[in-house]
Amino acid sequence: MLWFLFCIALLILGYFTYGKVVERVFVINPKKATPAYAMQDGVDYIPMSKTKIWLIQLLNIAGTGPIFGPILGALYGPVAMLWIVLGCIFAGAVHDYFCGMLSVRNGGASMPNLAGRYLGRPVKYFINLLAVVLLLLVGVVFVASPAALLSTLTIDAFSASSGAISLNNAEEIAQASVQAATELTVWGMDKPTIIAVWTAIIFAYYILATLLPIDKIIGRIYPLFGALLLFMSVGMVYGLVSSHLSVTDPIEFFRTVNTDGQGLTWEKFTQNFQVKDNVPIWPLLFLTISCGALSGFHATQTPLMARCAENEKEGRFIFYGAMIAEGVIALIWCAVGLSFYENPQALQNAIDAGSPSKVVYDSSIHFLGFVGGLFAVLGVVVLPITSGDTAFRAARLIIAEFFKINQSSLIKRLVIAVPLFAVGFIVSKIDFSILWRYFTWANQTTAMVMLWTAAAYLYRYNKFHWICSIPAWFISTVCFTYLAYNKIGFGLDYQLSVYIGFGLTLLCIGLFFTKLKPLGKIDEDAYVDDTLGSHHRM
């Protein structure tokens, strides 16, 4: 338990210390007009308070990733928490901050445009395609997971209200949720039909959130979603701590390691480094836990809020701070994965039986009872929904920006949104497990490009680029190794894949320092980077 609390304390400390370092390296200009005022259009560029923007930013970036990823990462043992803390402070929050602030500096530009400006047009074209594909995958994935959880809640709620199960018997509820998959019905509908109904409702909401001005639905409904998220986070911490302190049946933190009463030792810390032969900790842990530590999806979402920020001095709170908060959520669910089941195999069996969503459902009901667990699960459900809606919105804006289609008109928004959702519906028919594997790689590859973009910006303007360069090198090695080793890539020998990963990263480092040239001491506001190595006055 002390390790869990220590990790949370480190995240908070990181915000107040390293967050300030990052802000000083960037050099904010509080007197410079932000896009929210300079480009205000009443649709996407709208000034909002920093508190509201922070909440929307958190809900935008925190999908199922900081929940499902840490639960899967718990199979590697307590070391998963170390990656969440270090990754969040030194990579993820840095990634989000520079994406947000560079967007603010460049008229609310999307991440592909930022990559093109600082790394060159070929990178812009590549990341435009990758970002749209990633956002489609996110939108589809974040329809399936909340629909499945909502269908389980629907069946169990009706079963409980009819007296079929006891509201006070968590074990009976868990057994009933398994039975519901094949036997129980609501209004004559079986579980697949209920999932289809919830999928249609979520898609309908996504369409509205994609088309309407950002302050009409997202800005108004997110405070309610935020309250559910807060209840979920506080509720699960309460459940973990109270169960740990229980006199009758206490749970032990890191019981997935063993329960010899010795606490967290180095042997326990390292013994789960490789759970199975085909899932080595390098590089898979760093792709399994992404949104809670470092996620490229955030680069597609952050410019949405950069277009609403009122002052550059709010950037650390909005962008760096929201990522730290997501890291706390990830630590909570990693602790659940490490503590709720008797051993790693029991956790793996639960995941195999119903994906990480089963872990979410069973643990919430166990810790908080049926009613409290219901609200906790709803708090989990809002995360993918509030990321899925802005995923489609961000895809619309990236496409519009690429083809230079003004989005102030509803008709022009429909021109992009209709085919976008049609493709999304087609993609939704692909097997979820396949979608998730491709999403994982696309997600971290996008993060890799964004970190290289930020490093290029800092290097060109003679700022301390190492705070972005080193994380960029790290995640590049992860992504290249994963692509060489995994079946969705080239499926090569593991050792060879590691060599390839490091070799390609060294190649990228060489190109970075040979192709990019520092500009000397100039006013960055007077220059625009269009292509690699070329600049012109605004």
> Mind listing the pLDDT tens digit for each residue in 273-326?
544 556 788 888 898 898 889 999 899 889 989 999 999 999 999 999 999 999
- Residue 469: is its pLDDT beyond 90? yes
| 283 upstream amide cis, omega within 30 of 0 | yes
H-type alpha helices, 50-190: 50-61, 65-73, 79-87, 93-105, 111-119, 121-161, 170-180
The pLDDT confidence band at residue 183, using thresholds 50, 70 and 90, is: low
Q: What's residue 181's pLDDT?
A: 46
Q: What's residue 184's pLDDT?
A: 58
The pLDDT confidence band at residue 266, using thresholds 50, 70 and 90, is: low
> How much is the pTM?
0.84
Residue 534: phi and psi, rounded to 5, are -120, 145
pLDDT in tens, 129-171: 888 888 887 777 778 778 877 887 787 766 655 555 444 444 4
> Of the given ranges (179-193, 360-374, 451-465), which has the lowest mean pLDDT?
179-193
- Residue 377: is its pLDDT beyond 70? yes
More confident residue, 470 or 428: 470
What does R_g of the chain's alpha carbons equal in angstroms?
23
- CB count within 10 Å of CB 24 equals 12
Report how far residue 360's alpha carbon sits from residue 353's, in angstroms, rounded to the nearest whole number.
13
Report how far residue 432's alpha carbon sits from residue 137's, in angstroms, rounded to the nearest whole number.
10
Mean pLDDT of all residues belonging to the chain: 82
- Tokens linked to 171: 């074990």
Of 360, 420, 367, 365, nearest to 384 by C-alpha is 360
Burial class (CB in 10 A: 0-12, 13-18, 19+), 182: exposed
Name the strand (E) or helix (H) holding 327. helix 321-339
Q: How far is CA 137 from CA 297, 398, 413, 425, 516, in A?
A: 10, 15, 20, 11, 33
Domain ranges in the chain?
1-156+205-431
The pLDDT confidence band at residue 410, using thresholds 50, 70 and 90, is: confident
**Polymer length in residues for the chain:** 538
State the DSSP string of 419-472: HHHHHHHHHTTS-HHHHHHHHHHHHHHHHHHHHHHHHHHHHHTTS-THHHHHHH
What is residue 488's DSSP assignment?
T
More confident residue, 120 or 261: 120
What is residue 75's DSSP assignment?
G
What is residue 42's DSSP assignment?
S
- Residue 512: is its pLDDT beyond 90? yes
Report how far residue 110's alpha carbon sits from residue 413's, in angstroms, rounded to the nearest whole number.
17
DSSP count for the chain of H helices, then E strands:
22, 2
Q: What's residue 268's pLDDT?
A: 55
pLDDT in tens, 197-207: 888 888 888 88
Q: What's residue 180's pLDDT?
A: 46
1-156+205-431 CATH pick, 1.10.10, 1.10.3470, 1.20.1740, 1.10.1740: 1.20.1740
Q: What's residue 146's pLDDT?
A: 83
pLDDT in tens, 61-112: 887 778 888 998 888 888 899 999 999 999 999 999 999 999 999 999 999 9
More confident residue, 183 or 145: 145
The owner of tokens 């997202």 is 218
- CB count within 10 Å of CB 135 equals 28
The pLDDT confidence band at residue 454, using thresholds 50, 70 and 90, is: very high
Of 399, 497, 509, 528, nearest to 448 by C-alpha is 509
Of 44, 150, 49, nearest to 382 by C-alpha is 150
Rounded average pLDDT over 488-505: 93
What is residue 169's DSSP assignment?
-
Question: Could you tell me what percent of the chain has a pLDDT over 90?
Answer: 34
